[in-house]
Structure 1
Amino acid sequence: MRQRPMARPVRRIVGPLALVASAALVLAACTSGGGKVDSGSKASGSEGKNAGPPAIVVEPADANAKVSVGRKVTIRARGGSLSSVEVSSPGPGVLSGTWSKGKSVWTSTTPLAPGATYTVTANGKASGGSALNKTASFSTEAAKSTFVGEYYPDKGTKVGVAMPVSITFNKPISDKAAVERKLKVTASPAVEGAWSWMKDRNGKDRIDYRPQKYWKSGTAVTLRMDLAGVDAGGGVYGTQQRVVNFTIGDAVTSTVDVNRKTMTVARNGRTLRTLKVSSGKKGFETWNGTMVVLSKVPTIRMNSRTVGIFGAEAYNLGSVKWDIQLTPSGTYVHAAPWNAGKFGVVNGSHGCIGMSTGDAKWFFGQVNLGDPVTVVHSVDTVAVNNGYGDWNVDWATWKKGSALG
């Protein structure tokens, strides 16, 4: 039966927010410091770039005035060279930067985050050989509006071969190219992959990254979100600086043939079992195409009112067992003992894929988040934003969804 989905687990919306992943049985319904220099002199941004005794000069230097997020941080070794520089904030993290020839100047390349306090620690050596040291701090102006991204999968998880990297933003993203430039996915072994923008089912801006083909089992994947200080358009600034690592598990693939009324389950290319199933009946056909496992719940209640089914087709079933969610619109694989006799014979559900309780329990034990379930010989291919329908878009079209061309 096609049900309203359980809410997908929220994964660490960071910055000022922190949402925690949940799984429940629900109705499918800084101190500023003056610089210490070897000569004991005071160093400030008001001094000339090359005037005065050897010192490390930090710009911006005024710890009391709020700094524009559009400003760059410059660390200069006057009369010497730098050996190390770190500019960091507890939330946004450490700024990246570039060195001048001879390492006399360090300039930030990472945008400053709004409403953050940064600490500068710099060390170097004067041309005469004495040590130069500097600590300082400054704070940035608070943004009128900020954005964060809710990302999947979560850090440290193991997921299936069809799991994309997916980020849904809590504010409209007008400058999608600016945001996309600060998102990066790397994999070992390397893959060809691409980002593509879409509207999530809730109307929010969302960007997914997927390989051209399924991930290989054992692949180590890293998502880098360098969004702190990024202007998404209209003065809406990002606050996130995150590195998310996850791995790819076994290739567990399932194919439902609506005509044959069977589901064939394979692991790493070897067929495990072919199960008898009953999919959606006429008018309630199961989505065609590839869907991706979103959640697993041992027991839920299914009430047709939550998906707008009333009258003669209405149902309200408690304790539905071994539930594998495939779409937010309410497609599940689950035990359907009330349809005993229909499995392998008749498609009689309201859109879900039903099977015997024993088979459903077995299947529940085989699949994990991110595993693909592909339905063939049905109608109405599942939409790209209905869960992870990413795999139903051909590669050329998928790449055109990037804001970077």
Structure 2
Amino acid sequence: MDHFTPRNGVLRLTVLAADIAAALTPPTESPPMSLSPARPFRPSRSLCIALALMPVLGVGTLAACDAARASASQERPVKVGLGSASGNPTVQAGDQLRVSADGGVLTEVTVTDPRGRQLVGGFSQGGTVWTSRAKAAPETKYSVLARTKSAGGATTEAKESLTTGKVAKRNRVSFSPRPRGGVVGVDDPIRLTFAFPIRDRGVVERRLSVITDNRSEGAWSWEPAHGGKDRIVWRPTHEWKPGTKVTVRAELNGVDSGDGRFFTKDYGLRFTVGRSAPVRSDLDSDAYITPGLGPTPALWQGPGG
């Protein structure tokens, strides 16, 4: 019969229910047409099939619904948390940033400052924790992007941000040559003098770089400055070639110099080497006086000054 070729499950149940009702409804009386005894009532083929199929369809549908509800209840969204590596919920200057995942694992973590520089870090505890290797800088807003995977394989992405507070004690650095101190002769080194002592010189030195347009080689060394201040000096292996363009970078923002003193900005210096001439150094001001030589060097500082 056409009743048993439905287009969807809903139509099938509707037709079967109608067949059942029709089959069970007793026939209406009509004027006798014959004296022959009526045949006994027998269930139709459609009724038998309907009764056989209904329990099977019902159990299958309920089982599928129960399984879907159970799966949905077991799949919890991954919760991403931020804090310091020491366990504090807030991140202060000098802290290492910690990102954690509850209910899954971290697959990728990116932490950037307003200038687009990233805090490098690594995973631990089976991928549930990410910790930065570098320390957070003071007064800096960090944007955090964390991608996660749940136990069931679902992937999600979380975006958070945090801002570190101000610091009470700061350190500073001054350059030689300085913008007002003339220009650089071929024998002049680069000097960086710090306002307060440096506890870990290696940390500071790794943040310093000298770039030249002719790949001049040289090295850093530490020496006492006038008044007992710490000073680091970069001397070229051979004397500067006249016309050499030099860029000095001191990416010190966020570095703890010791005793709770932080650098709160980056520094830089650009200059072009002039011709050879006697140079007189003023140790009190770290200024160089070389009359009549070349361009004046340019000094820049990071955000904040």
- Tell me by how many angstroms 1:137 deviates: 1.1
2:98 matched residue in structure 1:
74
2:260 matched residue in structure 1:
235
TM-score by length of 1: 0.41
- Tell me by how many angstroms 1:55 deviates: 4.1
1:350-361 to 2 correspondence within 5 Å?
none
Is 1:183 equivalent to 2:217 in the alignment?
Answer: no
1:199-214 to 2 correspondence within 5 Å?
199-201=224-226, 203-214=228-239
- Tell me by how many angstroms 1:149 deviates: 0.7
Q: For residues 129 and 71 of structure 1, what CA distance do their matches in structure 2 show?
A: 32
2:5 matched residue in structure 1:
none
Q: For residues 173 and 289 of structure 2, what CA distance do their matches in structure 1 show?
A: 27
- Tell me by how many angstroms 1:190 deviates: 3.2
1:121 matched residue in structure 2:
144
Q: Alignment length, in residue pairs?
A: 212
Contact 1:216 1:248 (C-alpha < 8 Å) held by counterparts:
no
1:147 matched residue in structure 2:
171
Stretches (4+) displaced over 6 A: 101-104, 329-334
Q: For residues 205 and 151 of structure 1, what CA distance do their matches in structure 2 show?
A: 13
Match of 2:136 among 105, 112, 123: 112
2:13 matched residue in structure 1:
none
- Tell me by how many angstroms 1:368 deviates: 4.4
Is 1:225 equivalent to 2:250 in the alignment?
Answer: yes
Match of 2:223 among 182, 195, 198: 198
Contact 2:178 2:288 (C-alpha < 8 Å) held by counterparts:
no
- Tell me by how many angstroms 1:104 deviates: 7.0
1:98 matched residue in structure 2:
121
Contact 1:72 1:108 (C-alpha < 8 Å) held by counterparts:
yes
Say which SS state the counterpart of residue 327 (structure 1) adopts.
strand
- Tell me by how many angstroms 1:177 deviates: 3.9
Kindly report the root-mean-square deviation, in angstroms, between the aligned alpha carbons of the 2 structures: 4.2
> CA 1:218–1:74 in structure 2 vs 1: closer, same or farther (change >3 Å)?
farther
Match of 2:161 among 126, 136, 158: 136
> CA 1:192–1:227 in structure 2 vs 1: closer, same or farther (change >3 Å)?
same
Say which SS state the counterpart of residue 179 (structure 1) adopts.
helix
Pick 1 or 2: higher relative contact order, CA cutoff 8 A, min separation 6: 1
Larger Rg belongs to: 2
TM-score by length of 2: 0.53
1:356-375 to 2 correspondence within 5 Å?
364=292, 367-368=294-295
1:86 matched residue in structure 2:
111
- Tell me by how many angstroms 1:208 deviates: 1.8
Say which SS state the counterpart of residue 253 (structure 1) adopts.
coil
Of Structure 1 and Structure 2, the greater helix share is in 2
Q: For residues 244 and 204 of structure 2, what CA distance do their matches in structure 1 show?
A: 26
Match of 1:253 among 267, 276, 279: 276
Q: For residues 212 and 67 of structure 1, what CA distance do their matches in structure 2 show?
A: 43
2:47 matched residue in structure 1:
none
Match of 2:281 among 317, 327, 346: 327
Contact 1:56 1:134 (C-alpha < 8 Å) held by counterparts:
no
1:314 matched residue in structure 2:
none
> CA 1:233–1:136 in structure 2 vs 1: closer, same or farther (change >3 Å)?
closer
Of Structure 1 and Structure 2, the greater strand share is in 1
Q: For residues 211 and 256 of structure 2, what CA distance do their matches in structure 1 show?
A: 24
1:39 matched residue in structure 2:
none
- Tell me by how many angstroms 1:175 deviates: 4.1
Contact 2:148 2:157 (C-alpha < 8 Å) held by counterparts:
yes
**Runs (5+) with no aligned partner, structure 1:** 1-50, 255-290, 293-325, 335-363, 371-405
Q: For residues 228 and 218 of structure 2, what CA distance do their matches in structure 1 show?
A: 25
* Deviation sequence 1:210-236 (CA, Å, 0-9, x none): 212123455554433233343333333
Contact 1:95 1:108 (C-alpha < 8 Å) held by counterparts:
no
Identity across the alignment (%): 29
Say which SS state the counterpart of residue 134 (structure 2) adopts.
coil
1:53 matched residue in structure 2:
77
